[in-house]
Amino acid sequence: MLELALMFFVIAVIAGALGATGVAGLTMTIAKWLVIAFLVLAVVSLLL
């Protein structure tokens, strides 16, 4: 899941550099939610 978040972040940076702000914003939002989901699952797995 963290690999997907990193991939979306790279896509967002490239899209932002090329001027596609809509795509960059969307991919950054997806990357943010994937990182949050990863952190939540990591904490839950450590507690259990």
**Domain carrying residue 26:** 2-47
Rounded to whole angstroms, the maximal C-alpha distance in the chain is 44
Structure confidence by residue, pLDDT tens digits, 8-17: 889 999 999 9
Domain total of the chain = 1
Query: pLDDT tens digits for the chain (48 residues)?
Result: 788 888 988 999 999 999 888 889 999 999 999 999 999 999 999 998
pTM of the model: 0.78
Identify the CA nearest to 40 among candidates 9, 1, 8: 1
pLDDT at site 41: 94
